[in-house]
Amino acid sequence: MTTSRVTAERLPAAGVAPAVGTRGPHAGAARAVVGLAATIGLVGLFAAWFVWFRPQILGGPAAYVLVGGTSMEPHVEPGTLVILVRAESYAVGDVVAYRIPDGDPAAGRNVIHRIVGGDANTGFLMQGDNTNATDIWRPTPQDVIGREWLVLPDAATALLFLRSPAVVAAVAAALASYLVLGALSPRSARAARSMHQVAPNLTGPRPRNT
């Protein structure tokens, strides 16, 4: 008489295979390249700001003047943002911004006009392109904030738009979302890795006749 014996078998751990659709190493490498490129871009932007656009109040070379008058039309229209940089010397023809010297009722206010005469020792003769008379002030190099370097027309409109509550709220929401997603991404990655494991065989051992 033939007898049959049932033997339980256990699948070896080495037999566990990754689930279909698991991302390969190329996806991780692509993310690393994108992250590195973004980091390099941010570092480059910060370096450019630090070297060329850092405000004088922070020890940089740049000064920012938002023009509100018409004395420099048509060269500089109202609402234009003018970026100025310090220079070792100034000459006739330069468009510069200067502070009204001490002792005047308007002392401390900024004026952006063109140098039409004078010199560094006796003071510069200033005049707006859209005026018929020279300024009553004779600023010296110590009063000059800087020479015109970059002119951004209609910057006032853009600045007012950026300061609007809707834009501020949108930027705050985007920043908050970025921080939250950045905090959750490690957990999400660990959860995804755990789900890529194949569940063990729960159907029971297979019979084997002997």
pTM of the model: 0.58
> DSSP string spanning the chain?
------------GGG--PPTT---HHHHHHHHHHHHHHHHHHHHHHHHIIIII-BGGGT-SEEEEE--SSTTTTTS-TT-EEEEE--S---TT-EEEEEPPTTSTTTT-EEEEEEEEEETTTEEEEE-TT-SS--S----TTTEEEEEEEEETTHHHHHHHHTSHHHHHHHHHHHHHHHHHHHHHHHHHHHHHHHTSPPP--S-PPP---
Three-class SS string for 9-59? CCCCHHHCCCCCCCCCHHHHHHHHHHHHHHHHHHHHHHHHHHHHHCEHHHC
pLDDT in tens, the chain (210 residues): 444 454 444 545 555 555 545 555 677 778 878 888 888 888 888 887 777 778 888 888 889 999 989 999 999 999 999 999 999 999 999 999 999 988 888 888 999 999 999 999 999 999 999 999 999 999 999 999 999 999 999 887 776 666 566 766 777 777 777 677 665 555 555 555 555 554 455 455 555 555
Per-residue pLDDT of 51-91, as tens digits, reads: 777 888 888 888 999 998 999 999 999 999 999 999 999 99
